[in-house]
Amino acid sequence: MMELRQLFTISTGYTFRDAIATMEPGNTAVVQAGDITAARLASVPRIAFDNPRHMLQAGDILISARGSVVARTVTPDLLPAIAASSVFVLRPILDDLNPRFVARYLNSAYGQAALRQIATGAYIKSLRKPDIASLQIPQPPVATQDIIVRLHDVIDENRKLLRLKDELLQQLDNSVINQLQGENQ
């Protein structure tokens, strides 16, 4: 196990002076905590922003700092992008690390339990940077990390296929009744 601070630089997102919705449209995606929680990174607003110091990189991990805590890995299709101040940005500092493995761990039952332990606040939970930095993360060999990520991807794909199967079966079931209704009219 290693502390998160040994694996990543940890920073907070950019603090905007104005509401994001009122900013000039552009090509830089703005990721807010709610976007991470809802897994809707593909549809985030895009604004004109050109400060390279705050730009996200593929492989960064985004963690919502308030509310439901979820971790997502930045993929190249999101870029260029910036995180809002309600998001922690974890940037890998080791080469033998799969960021998707760490995000997967943080979203697992074990990771979520650890995050709940360090969350503060009575009604809306929030995370503090020093507490996140001290989280203990398992560090198996990178080949094992890659296998775990691939296994997770296969499981996710199977879940999607099962949901699609359920939808198709429901449509089939409904169409049988609809046909009967049509014959009785």
pLDDT, tens digit, 9 for 90 and up, residues 116-165: 999 998 888 899 999 999 999 999 999 999 999 999 989 989 999 999 99
Q: Are residues 20 and 105 in the same domain?
A: yes
> What's the confidence (pLDDT) of residue 56?
95
Q: Are residues 109 and 164 in the same domain?
A: no
Gap between the Cα atoms of 180 and 150, Å rounded: 45
Q: Are residues 51 and 108 in the same domain?
A: yes
Q: Are residues 39 and 96 in the same domain?
A: yes
Q: Are residues 16 and 37 in the same domain?
A: yes
Q: What are phi and psi of 124, to 5 degrees?
A: -100, 115
Last residue of a domain, one of 107, 123, 139: 139
Q: Are residues 144 and 184 in the same domain?
A: yes
> What's the confidence (pLDDT) of residue 2?
93
| Span 62-79, average pLDDT | 91
Q: Are residues 105 and 149 in the same domain?
A: no
Q: pLDDT category, 39, cuts 50, 70, 90?
A: confident
> What's the confidence (pLDDT) of residue 180?
80
Q: Are residues 61 and 118 in the same domain?
A: yes
> What's the confidence (pLDDT) of residue 185?
64
Q: Are residues 177 and 165 in the same domain?
A: yes
Q: Are residues 161 and 118 in the same domain?
A: no
* Token pair for 37: 């929680």
The fraction of the chain above a pLDDT of 90, given in percent, is 69
Q: pLDDT category, 68, cuts 50, 70, 90?
A: confident
Question: For the domain that residue 24 is a member of, what is the CATH number?
Answer: 3.90.220.20
Domain ranges, residue 121? 2-139
Q: Are residues 169 and 126 in the same domain?
A: no
Identify the burial level of 69 via C-beta atoms within 10 angstroms of its C-beta, where 0-12 means exposed, 13-18 middle and 19 or more buried: buried
Please give the tally of structural domains in the chain.
2
Q: Are residues 102 and 117 in the same domain?
A: yes
Provide the 10 A C-beta neighbour count for residue 33. 24
Q: State the Rg of the chain over Cα.
A: 20
Least confident of 93-97, 113-117, 139-143: 93-97
Gap between the Cα atoms of 79 and 89, Å rounded: 14
The fraction of the chain above a pLDDT of 70, given in percent, is 98
Q: pLDDT category, 17, cuts 50, 70, 90?
A: confident
> What's the confidence (pLDDT) of residue 21?
82
